[in-house]
Structure 1
Amino acid sequence: MNYRSDVTTILHLVHDLIHEDEEDNPSQQMQNVGEQGHMALLGHSLAAYISVLDRERLRKLTTRILSDTTLWLCKLFRYENGSAYFHEDDRDGLVRVCRLVINARYEEYASEGYAVLSAKQPVIYQSASCRPGLGQHLCNQLGLPLSSLCRVPCNTIFGSQHQMDVALLDKLIKEDTEAGKVPLLLIANAGTPGAGHTDKLGRLKDLCDQYNMWLHVEGKCCLMLTFSCNWCVSGVIPIQAATRCDSMTLAPGQWLGLPAVTAVTLYRHEDPALSLAAGLTSSQPVEKLRALPLWLSLQYLGHDGIVQTIRHATVLSQQLLQKLKSLASIKTSVGDFLMFYHYLCKQLAHLVPISGVDVVELEDEGICLRFSPLLTAAILGTQQKDIEELVEKLTELVPIMSSTMCLRQDFREETYRHSPWLRYIEDFCWPGLGAVRFEPRAEGMDEYRRKQELEKMNAELLKKLQDLDTDIIFSTGPEAGTEDGCIFVGMVTEDVDVSDLVDTIAALGRDIEESGRLLENMTEVVRKGILEAELQLQKANEEKLMEEGMLRQLPLVGSVLNWFSPVQSSIKGRTFNLAAVQHLKYGVNNFIKHANATSYAPFDAPTSSANTRQIPTVQILFLYHLNSLKD
């Protein structure tokens, strides 16, 4: 940058960069920030201001902020005698907890490093339903091989398909112990990232105590610890089991609608030296200021405000669940998910964006619509009227989706009935009735010309279909992975006659093909007419030369001879007067339009007067073609 800008100019630039895509993509507009969000934003500004204070005042202030915030969080989540680590990356707290456990289990780790671990390899256990990539990230940050990560399958016969199989975990731990490995840490879920299920925390804690393992818990359902009665959409979280864990990672910013607030890891350990070695505590005052935005927000909301925010989210889940019970075509899973086709999920997310629904793909259930107000309601400001609108859109879209799915096979069979004019295009990603392509006859065409003709005819056919008076949407389909020259038919209602629909598509295609061939035939007639006219002109010139002689054809000599000795020629001159046929363009264009719109009824050219005889159609096209040659 070669010049300086004032503050106003810079702020305008930032404003334009933030809002530049909102007109084209209304769904990407910025979310409204509530008062509690403004408190969090204020905390970031205050943290920058406080960081310039003198060292002693900064130390006292940051110590107070950190201790207050830790005390409030431990009380709020019923986690007694805990410490807190505030971190930007929500995985960083677990990484440092693992370092703490390694330092505690391997006394010589501080001096010997990885050599100690190679003798007795540590093992970290995680559920198969944990968030993707978490285990690999831990191994990378800790310098451990991937063989130190054990992925525990979930129940497949008894219990939930998303809960960790406790019996199998016990077996895996015994096998690792017998192999000389050290069971180090277990990661359990209180609300899986995908389906929102909670592991059997009580049994897992007993197993960890048996093998001297560290239990770490994470998930949105940790929020339920703020209630005296800990109900959530995936069941009841036992308070004692959840609070007995050795550490837990929380995301209060996301849960409470607080922008840019750090994640928090609560943990219990009696040795501050090991906590310092693991990076869970710091003597740097600036790092302690990470807690300031949350410190302000917690004071603003208060205990009752936080509980009310979480309670509102659970009420929204209950409301949607009750409404969906009346729709037999919808399957619910844990109250958080609806089983749907992918297209419908996207439609709902687009039509009711404030509801916070999004699309996920689960291993057993398939593609689902996820409604998780614990993660979105506080940020988006979702209200009960938004749930009513979501259910209303569901009742509109589900019947038309069901009828479309039922008629897809009929559409396919009817398309094959019109072979070879129509070709059915298999596209499993298309949510509508299906896709077809009109195949013109290609006698005497090379591959390049055939492809051009195919795209041209199907583009014209698509335009005619879109002009029909119908609620069915015809389009070119998805942009990626689509064959050239395809026509995609959208959703249809149950009263649509698929046979008539396919007949209409085929008839329009054949009309377009016949219209094109008629114009090709007329072009051939015009070409032959031009050749015939050229031969007649050449013959007339030869006859004139024979009758008048060579001298009269010379420009200067001929003029003198004709002056002194005029000649009476019996040959009438013939010319192409291209300029005289300009007025015929309008008539020809009307003819072409008329031919495309009808069954090619005879076309009458306009006459200049009653005495002027009618000009045949072929002659009009012939003159028009000559005029085109001139242009």
Structure 2
Amino acid sequence: MAPSAVSQERHSCDALNRWLGEQLKQLVPASGLTVVDLEVEGTCVRFSPLTTAAGTRGEDVDQLAACIQSKLPVLTCTLQLREEFKQEVTGTAGLLYVDDPNWPGIGVVRYEHANDDKSSLKSDPEGEKIHAGLLKKLNELESDLTFKMGPEYKSMKSCIYIGMASDDIDVSELVETIAVTAREIEENSRLLENMTEVVRKGIQEAQVQLQKANEERLLEEGVLRQIPVVGSVLNWFSPVQASQKGRTFNLTAGSLESTEHTYVYKVQGSGVTPPQTPSGARTKQRLPGQKPFKRSLRGSDAVSETSSVSHIEDLEKMEHLSGGQDASEANSPERHPGAPTPPEAEQTGALQDRAQRLEDDRPQVEEPESLR
């Protein structure tokens, strides 16, 4: 094994042991555990009963052993999912896998936006804004995973750190959710910036058109109508038929439009239908109570559940049919206790006829003389 690979594996083991030691210290503080860094073995969790014998009891040791057993599946599951997470992130466009040996979780990922300078190691304000929104969206999903944002291991760019996995996680769904959510945040941010620029230009254009319309109105009315007293007299004798002209700003087209059709057709709309909002990531069908990023149940469980439901429905149908048959018999006219029902009488007659035909068709065998 190459020295770099050995060093990286040791750093990963040190991070996991450091996480385990911190967890055990919080869960069993009376055990007196300490996390030490040894030159050869690396990071270890030290339990020294002699130094903590005064405050440690037998129950504390049992609790410590139980906590270690409960944390081992978490460590095993996290180690198994690390390589799968790396492959999924590497194969997803727009995501960059960050190799941080000091992080004990599943892994670290960074979203590369359109204006991201990949050669720079300085902090990126736009990327930090996108990752902050991404972190908020991921925490709102209320999954069993923990997410945090921080700078990259070898640079100042923001990244998303994914914590330990306590159960079987659907890594492909996790990576897809991160990529789609980050892309939506970037697109919404650019849409807002473009809309702000469009509105600013629209306001400037509206001001120019209003000023031009005002100048045209002054030319049509003439100079005399602008004099206070003379203008009032002229307007009284010969009022000006001024047409109401307005402008409406269409955000979809990004242009100013006349409001003449609005005055003519008050009930009708502008005829412009706003575009539909993109739906984003495809929603995965989950069972009731299933948290995000969990793998689906096995097919046998689903089939057994479906078969049990169908069996219950069949029983309900049989009860319904039997209830209807009892009601029809109760409403039928009274019969003699020994008399069969019409269907039973027909069936009995048919059986008797068949037996008679079989008796007639059977060949007659003569008895031997010795038996006579």
Q: Taking structure 1 as the reference length, what is the TM-score of the superposition?
A: 0.35
Name the residue aligned to 1:559: 228
> How far is 1:450 from its partner?
9.3
Find the structure with the greater CA-based Rg: 2
Task: Tell me the CA shift for residue 569 of structure 1.
Answer: 3.0
CA deviation string 1:463-497 (max 9, x = no partner): 11111131011112589987332110000145212
- Is 2:44 the counterpart of 1:368? yes
1:438 to 111, 114, 118: 111
Cross-structure match for 1:409: 83
> Equivalent residue for 1:569?
240
Check whether the contact 1:342–1:368 (CA below 8 A) recurs between aligned residues: yes
Q: What is the deviation of 1:384?
A: 1.1
CA distance, structure 2, for counterparts of residue 441 and residue 474 of structure 1: 24
Does the CA contact (< 8 Å) of 1:404 and 1:432 recur in 2?
A: yes
Post-superposition offset of 1:433: 0.8
Per the alignment, in what secondary structure is the counterpart of residue 360 of structure 1?
strand
Alignment-derived partner of residue 86 in structure 1: none
- Residues 457/477 of structure 1: CA separation in 2 closer, same or farther (3 Å cut): closer
Which of 468, 472, 488 matches 2:145?
Answer: 472
Moved more, 455-464 or 434-443: 434-443
Q: Distance in 2 between matches of 1:350 and 1:340?
A: 16
Cα pair distance change 1:537/1:339, threshold 3 Å = closer
CA distance 1:525–1:382, shift in 2 (3 Å): same
CA RMSD of aligned residues (A): 3.5
Correspondence for 1:427 = 100
Once residues 450 and 339 of structure 1 are traced to their aligned partners in structure 2, the CA distance between those partners, rounded to angstroms, is 25
State the 1:564 CA deviation: 2.2
Distance 1:472 1:529, change over 3 A: same
Alignment of 1:534 onto 2:217: no
CA distance in 1, matches of 2:37, 2:247: 72
2: CA distance, partners of 1:477 / 1:424: 14
**Secondary structure of 1:424 counterpart:** strand
Q: Deviations over 1:282-301 (max 9, x none)?
A: xxxxxxxxxxxxxxxxxxxx
Taking the aligned partners of 2:48 and 2:198, their CA distance within structure 1 comes to 70
Q: Distance in 2 between matches of 1:574 and 1:527?
A: 21
Task: Tell me if structure 1 keeps the 8 A contact 2:135–2:148.
Answer: yes
Q: Identity over aligned residues, as a percent?
A: 45
Change (3 A) 1:489 1:510: same
- Alignment check: 8 A CA contact 2:121 2:155 kept: no
3-state DSSP class of the match of 2:124? helix
Query: Partners in 1 of 2:156 and 2:122 — Cα distance?
Result: 17
What residue number does 1:353 align with? 29
Structure 1 runs of 4+ off > 4 angstroms? 447-450, 477-482, 573-577, 611-618
The AA in structure 2 aligned to 1:518 is L
Question: Partners in 1 of 2:75 and 2:213 — Cα distance?
Answer: 73
SS of 2:45 mapped into structure 1: strand
Q: Give the corresponding residue for 1:106.
A: none
Q: Is the 8 A contact 1:354 1:386 kept in 2?
A: yes
Counterpart-to-counterpart distance in 2, 1:449 and 1:546: 60
Matched, 1:391 2:65: yes
Deviation at 1:340, TM superposition (A): 6.2
- CA deviation vs aligned residue, 1:541-560 (integer Å, no higher than 9, x gap): 1111211234544xxxx321
* Distance (whole Å) between structure 2 residues aligned to residue 366 and residue 443 of structure 1: 37
Contact 1:348 1:394 in 2 (8 A): yes
Instruction: Determine the C-alpha separation between the residues in 2 that align with 1:339 and 1:459.
Output: 25
Superposed displacement of residue 505, structure 1: 0.8
Residues in 1 aligned to 2:153 and 2:27: alpha-carbon distance in whole angstroms: 23
- On the 8 A contact 2:15/2:101 being kept in 1, the answer is no
Q: Match of 1:487, as an amino acid? A: I
Corresponding position of 2:347: none
| Structure 1, gaps ≥5 residues long | 1-337, 578-587, 589-610, 619-631
Q: C-alpha distance in 1, partners of 2:33/2:77?
A: 24
* CA 505–479 in structure 1, closer or farther in 2 if over 3 Å, else same: closer
Deviation at 1:371, TM superposition (A): 0.5
